[in-house]
Chain A
Amino acid sequence: MGSHGIKDRVAIIGMGCTRFGEHWDKGVDDLIIAAAAEAFKAAGVTKQDVDAYWFGTAQSGMSGIALARPLGLVGKPVTRVENYCATGSEALRQAVYAVASGAYDMAMAVGAEKVKDAGYQGLNAFPIPGDGTARTVTAAAMFSMVAPAYANKYGVPPGDMKTALARVASKNHHNGARNPRAQFRKEYSVEKLCAMPAVAGGLSVFDCAGVADGAAAAIVVRAEDAHRYTDKPLLVKALALVAGNGGGLGDPGYDYTTFPEVVAAAADAYAQAGITAPRAELAMAEVHDCFTPTEIVLAEDLGLAARGTAWKEVLAGTFDLDGELPVNPDGGLKAFGHPVGASGLRMMFEAWLQLRGEAPPERRISTYGERSLALTHTLGGYPGEMVSFVSILGAV
C-alpha cells in the first residue's frame, strides 16, 4: 500500500495549445486538430507513432470516437475521460501511467472544450437524472462564501480583502495581456476591479474565470527515450489526484477557508517529487484560479504561503511575474480562459514554455535559470466537495 509515484520515468516531448477564447468560427474538432498538430510537430512524430490516446472533455464529446474521428485515427486505443475541471489533467495522468506501466511506448493526452456553443453564461453541468434536491446555485456563489469566511477567520479588514481579490485578478490580467494565446489581453487596475458590481456574494464578473473554447495536447514517452525526440524534455516528477467524498458540505467543522482535497493532493505530489520547501524549490505554479478567493486559499493549501498570510503575499507581489514565486504566469483561468477539458494541459503547456526558456521575455518568470520545477494544479467541484489534481514537472 502506498503512493509511490513515477518520478523521472516519463517525459513530455511535445505539446500544443490553441488560443483560448470565443472561437465562433471553430468547432471542437477544429480545436482538437490544431492542438494535436502543434504537439505532433513539437515532438516530431505523427499520429501513427502514438500508440494510445486519452481524450479529456467534460461535455463536448462522448467516448474515444470524439478524438479518433477528427484526428482520423485508425486502429488506436482511445479513451475519453472526465473528472470535472481536472479533466485535462486526468487525461495526461492516464497517458503517463500507461507509458510508465510499459504497456505503450508513446501516448498522447488531448483536452478540449467547446463551451461557447452552449448559449448560456458560465459553465453548465450536463443534467443527471436526480431527485431534485441537489443544490442549484452557481460555482461562483459557492466559492464566494470563501472570501468572507477567510477574512473573518484571519481578521482581514473587508477593504483589504477586496483589494487582495482584485490584486489576484489584476496580476493574472497583467500576465494574460502578455500572452497571445490568452482569452483576455487587457490589463485592469485594482481600483477599476474593485468598482465592478457584485453578481455572486461579493464577487464580480471580474473575479471569475474566463469562459472559453480551446484545446491543448501533450505527447509522452519513457524518460530514457525522450532525447530521441527533443533536447529539452519535461520530466514528470509527480502526479497526485484526490476525489473528495462531499463530506465537507455536511460537516459543521468545515469553515470554507481551506480545501482539504487540495492539501492532500499537494502532500502526495510533494512526497512523490521529494519536495520539502515548495515555495523555495518551485520555479512557478499554475493554480486553478476559478475565482479570485480560490487562488488565495490555494496558495496556502499548496504550501506556497503560511496560513492566514496569502492575502498579504498577494498584496506584496510575491506571486507576480517578477515576484519571489510567479503564480499563473500565463494569465491563469482568469485571463487565459477556462475550457474545462483543456485547462489542466494548458497549465502544463505554460510550464513547457517557461522551463524550456521559450516564454517570451515580457512574460518570462523571475526564477528562470535558477529553479527548474513547476507545479500545476486543477480542481473541480465546490468547497466541501471537489476533486483536486497536482502535478510537478521538471526541466532536465
Chain B
Amino acid sequence: MRGITGWGTHLPYARLDRSAIRAVAGTGGGTGTRTVASYDEDTTTMGAEAARAALRGRPASHSRLAPHGRGALHERGALHERADRPGSLWFATTEPAYSDRTNATVLHAVLRLDRAVPAYDAVGSVRSAMAALRAAWQGPGSSLVVTSDIRTGLPGGPDEAAGGDAAAALLVGDGAQVLAEIVAWESVTEEFVDRWRAPGAPSSRLWEERFGETRYCELGAEALKLALGAAGIAAGAVDHLVVAGLHDRAAGAVQRASGVPEIRITDRLASTVGNPGAAQPGLLLAVALESARPGQIIVLLSLADGADAVVLRTTPALASYRPWRPVAAQTAAGGPIAYGRYLHWRGMLPVEPPRRPEPARVSSPAAHRNADWKYGLVPVADALGTIVTFTVDRLAYSPSPPVVFAIVDFDGGGRLPVELTDVDAGEVAIGGRVEMTFRRLATSDGIHNYFWKARPLRDKARDTPRDTPGEE
C-alpha cells in the first residue's frame, strides 16, 4: 500500500479584500478575500513552512510536548521525530525564487534533511505540482512533495482577484503510516494554448475563455472516467471530489458533469484563499483529508495542460492523524492588507524607501558555513517564545517599514533579539507569545537573504505552558 502519509499547509497571514481593487484600478475586483504572501515571503519560504507543518503533523497518540524541563528541550528536535523522514524532496512552483539553481535545497536545509536525501525542483508550470507528486508516488521510499505558489496579475485583472498565495506539502510513503492510499492515477495530455506567460512576466494572458473550457471539460471527464474505471469505483461512490485548475469555469463545469453529488465536492476556497495555482491540488487535497473519515474515496482531478485524476482511499490511520495547522484554522486567522500595500509588496507600486543604505549581499561561504543556524535555526526553530520587550524602528531599512523588533525568550531557555512579522506594530505587547517562521529578509545583488523571524502565535490551541529555565 502506497499513498499519503502526512500533509501540511501554509496560508499567508495577509488577506486582500477584493472589493478594494475596483476603487483603485477602476476595474476588476469582486467579493471575498484572497491570501497575500507577505513582502518577506516567496514560494520557497512558504513551501518551507508547509513542509515543516507536514513533518510536525502526527498521530494523536504521539505526545506533542513533554511537559517540562528536559522534555521541552528535547521537543526542540520534534521536527525530526517522525519515523518516516522523507527519503527524497520535491519542490514545485510556477514562481521559483531562483532560476538555474535549485530552490528545494533551501527547504532541504530548513528541514535539516540528511545530505543523502536528494532535493529536486519541478518548476515553471502549474502542472509541475502533479508531476512532482507522481514522481514521489512512483519512486520508492518516503518522499516529501512541496507545492507553493504566488499568483499575480495586473491590477484590475482576473488573475489578480482570482489568485491566491499558498503552499501545501504532502508526504508520500508506504505501510501502516498511509492515511490515504493512492489506488489509481490516470493522466491525459494535450497541447493547446489557452493561457501563457513569459518567464518573469507579472501576469498571464488568456485566450477566449470558452476555448479552454471546452478542452478541459473533455479532458477532465476523460481522465476521471479512466481513473474511476481503473479503481473500479462508480462516480456515485466518490465521497470527496477535488477539482483543481486555473480555469475556474472549466473546473465548475467538470464538477457538475462528474456525476458526483454537489454536496461531496470540496470547496475550492475561492471566497477566502483564491486559486493558488501549483499549490491548489495539494491544498484542496488537504481540505478533503481534513474532513474525510476512514474508508472514504477521494478523487483529486487537476486540470492543467491535460488532466490528472488520482483516486485515493482513506485508511483507519486517518482517524488519529492530527494536522499541525489545519486549513480551517489558517483561513480563520488572517488579517487585512490595504490594496496599496499589496501592490507595493508585489512590486507594482514602488514606495519611497527609508534613506538608509540597502543591506549588503549575503556572503555565500558564510551562509554555507552557518547553514544550521541560518536555515535550520538550531535549536529553537520549533520552540515557542515570549516577547520580553520590543521596539518599532521607523529609521531602519526594510522592504516594508517599519521594522518591529523584539527580544524573545524561548520556552526551555535561550534568547534571540529578532524581527517580528505578520504583525501590526500596534498589537505587539510584552508577554505576547510567538513562534518562529522562515522568511526572506531582503534581496541584494539578486541573492535572497533567508533567515527566521518571529510572529504572533495566533492559533492558541497550539500554545503550551511556558517552561521556566532551570526548572529541570
Contacts and interface: CB of A to CB of B under 8 A. Distances in A.
Interface of A: 120-122, 124, 127, 129-133, 135-138, 140-142, 144-145, 148-149, 198-201, 249-252, 254, 256, 384
B367 interface: yes
A140 B356 contact: no
Contacts of A252: 388, 409, 413-415, 469
Contacts of B74: none
Contact of A199 (B388, B395, B449): B395
Interface stretch (B172-180, B213-221, B304-312, B369-377): B369-377
A138 B396 contact: yes
A251 B388 CA distance: 12
A133 B451 contact: yes
B417 A249 contact: yes
Contacts of A149: 389
B373 A133 contact: yes
A305 B152 CA distance: 59
Interface stretch (B23-31, B133-141, B357-365): B357-365
Contacts of B414: 250, 252
Contacts of A124: 356-357
21 contacts: A127-B359, A129-B366, A130-B366, A132-B362, A132-B374, A133-B451, A136-B396, A137-B396, A140-B395, A141-B403, A145-B390, A199-B394, A199-B395, A200-B391, A200-B393, A201-B392, A201-B393, A249-B417, A251-B415, A254-B415, A384-B417
A122 B362 contact: no
Contacts of A145: 389-391, 407
B355 interface: yes
A129 B369 CA distance: 13
Contacts of B66: none
Report, as a range, how many residues of chain B touch the other chain.
35 or more
B395 A141 contact: yes
Contacts of A140: 393, 395
Contact of B415 (A127, A142, A250): A250
B360 A127 contact: yes
Nearest to B418: A135
Nearest to B447: A132
A367 B112 CA distance: 64
Given A124-B356, A141-B403, A252-B415, A132 B392 contact: no
A61 B394 CA distance: 30
B356 A120 contact: yes
A149 B430 CA distance: 10
B395 A200 contact: yes
A305 to B, nearest CB: 23
B345 interface: no
B372 to A, nearest CB: 11
Given A131-B366, A145-B389, A149-B389, A120 B355 contact: yes
A131 B363 contact: yes
Contacts of A200: 391-395
B373 to A, nearest CB: 6
A121 B389 contact: no
Nearest to B368: A131
A138 B355 contact: no
B97 interface: no
Contacts of A148: 389
Contacts of B409: 252
Nearest to B391: A201
Interface in B397-428: 397, 403, 405, 407, 409, 413-417, 419
A141 B373 CA distance: 24
Given A120-B357, A130-B362, A135-B417, A256 B370 contact: no
B392 A129 contact: no
B391 A122 contact: no
Interface in B216-256: none
Which 8 pairs across A and B sit closest by C-beta, in order of nearness?
A141-B393, A127-B360, A132-B362, A129-B363, A201-B391, A132-B449, A131-B366, A131-B370
**Looking at B363, B366, B393, B415, which has the most chain A CB atoms within 10 Å of its CB?**
B393
Contacts of A199: 394-395
Nearest to B359: A136
Interface in B263-283: none
